[in-house]
Amino acid sequence: MKFKELSLGYEAMKTKLVLIFFLCFFTINIVDASEILQLTNDTESIGFPQWSPDGDRIIYTSSDLETITSGDWVVDFWMMDADGSNKTQLTSGDTILGLGFNNPLSPDGTQFLFISNSTGDHELWIMNVNGSNKKQLTHGAHLENNLLGLTGRWGISWSPDSSQIVYVSASSENRNVWETVEINGKKEPIFNISKVSKDYDIWIVDHDGSNNLKLTTSGKDNIGATWRPDGEKIAFVSNESGNGGIWVMNKDGSDKIQLVDGSAYNIDWSPDGTKIVYVKGDHENYTSSIWVIDGDGSNKKPLTNNSEYFVSQSYPDWSPDGSKIVFNSGSIGEYGIWIMNSDGTDQIRIGEGLMLQWSPKGDKIVSTAIKGDRLAISVIVLDEELVSRPASSLASVPESPPEKTPGFSVVIAVLMLAMTFSLERKKRI
């Protein structure tokens, strides 16, 4: 009897130890960062934050919720210090459209891009950070799809030396049409099923609007172009092979090589240009996971393992030194922020938000927090063990005061961007 009691006591103690172990493990891997700073209030819908090249400031867009619900979608550009102080409005008004893509700010910090339909079509424009020298770069480009909730899939990307821009031209009909699925009694958008024209190609243009050239002419879907850090090659997503995938080409469009065959998006080069991180979609289970591949197509491997229905792991962003990756993970409507080593180990949850971007200084991550039906910008101050080394060169943003310019009336699906499952039908990429 005593032996039985001792045995039961031992089993109870062992169970407690196991529970304590798992609780400790859970705490280590699912805890939020020690400090999360909300930089903007939730009276407006705010998003698309981007660090300045020196990591001292953040450029972002601001939309009054009343204009969004009325269909006007008025969006303005603002800039603030990294601690949320010194907010400065760069643009205002109702004649220029905002943007539906990340990284509008040039790598040298002097100019930013936006999309305007002031000429009757959605075109790419450029202006100085201080609000001067507004100029139209494209003519007949059809950039309305860049304003949909498909950020990270279409792509407008600066060359590393700020001299050129790649973009995707593709007009559409019946924009913002979504296929839905019912989850917990609520219908959630899953696939964007807008009709897209056949002219669905990647173009390149100089920052002054000259030398506007088409790089893809296959008649297939070519999107998501992003520059390699040395500025010599461009990675993009294409269904040239009929099955989707990641391709790489020279900056003049020559020597196209397929690296990945199958559903892939949210592609991002490592800081040293040797690897590409991307999201692999599983259309059967409505899931996605994060993978990495060498720039020559070798050593393809998963960094996350996801087999759960309706769970997305997406929007990866490299740390400045390439040692870590921040990404989103969660079921529909949940946007957990996670950090892992570049080999997929030591995955740690640090908060919640979307539109993630690592600071060039390596010590913070900016994100967009969802506050009910509005958005606000937050900065996560990383614990010491998660801090990355700074980028090798940190350019500063000019201190010129902003000038008032005609502002930004936008047809931009800010709230739709919150859906990380903005995947298209299986027949599309």
Tens of pLDDT, residues 236-291: 998 887 778 999 999 999 999 999 998 888 899 999 999 999 999 877 777 889 99
Across 136-140, average pLDDT: 89
d(CA 281, CA 289): 7
* Best CA proximity match to 317, nearest among 328, 332, 305, 304: 328
CATH of the domain at 293: 2.120.10.30
For residues 251 and 378, state if they share a domain.
yes
For residues 354 and 208, state if they share a domain.
yes
Q: Which of 2-6, 209-213, 368-372 has the highest mean pLDDT?
A: 209-213
For residues 316 and 201, state if they share a domain.
yes
* Range(s) of the domain holding residue 19: 1-30
For residues 124 and 22, state if they share a domain.
no
Is 425 inside a domain boundary?
A: no
d(CA 325, CA 386): 10
d(CA 409, CA 407): 7
DSSP per-residue string spanning 47-96: EEEEE-TTSSEEEEEEEEHHHHHHT--BEEEEEEETTS-S-EE---SSSB
Is 318 inside a domain boundary?
A: yes
Is 429 inside a domain boundary?
A: no
Tens of pLDDT, residues 147-180: 554 444 467 889 999 999 999 887 655 555 666 7
83 burial level (CB within 10 Å; 0-12, 13-18, 19+): middle
For residues 252 and 345, state if they share a domain.
yes
Is 424 inside a domain boundary?
A: no
Is 426 inside a domain boundary?
A: no
For residues 324 and 403, state if they share a domain.
yes
For residues 25 and 84, state if they share a domain.
no
| Total structural domains within the chain | 2
For residues 370 and 287, state if they share a domain.
yes
Dihedrals phi, psi of 335, to nearest 5 degrees? -130, 65
Stretch among 31-40, 115-124, 194-203, 400-409 having the lowest mean pLDDT? 400-409
For residues 321 and 234, state if they share a domain.
yes
For residues 157 and 124, state if they share a domain.
yes
Which amino acid, residue 25?
F
* Best CA proximity match to 297, nearest among 324, 273, 321, 276: 276
For residues 16 and 78, state if they share a domain.
no
CB 381 within 8 A of CB 35: yes
Is 274 inside a domain boundary?
A: yes
Stretch among 15-24, 41-50, 125-134, 294-303 having the lowest mean pLDDT? 15-24
Tens of pLDDT, residues 36-63: 888 988 676 677 889 999 999 998 888 7
Is 70 inside a domain boundary?
A: yes
For residues 24 and 151, state if they share a domain.
no
Is 428 inside a domain boundary?
A: no
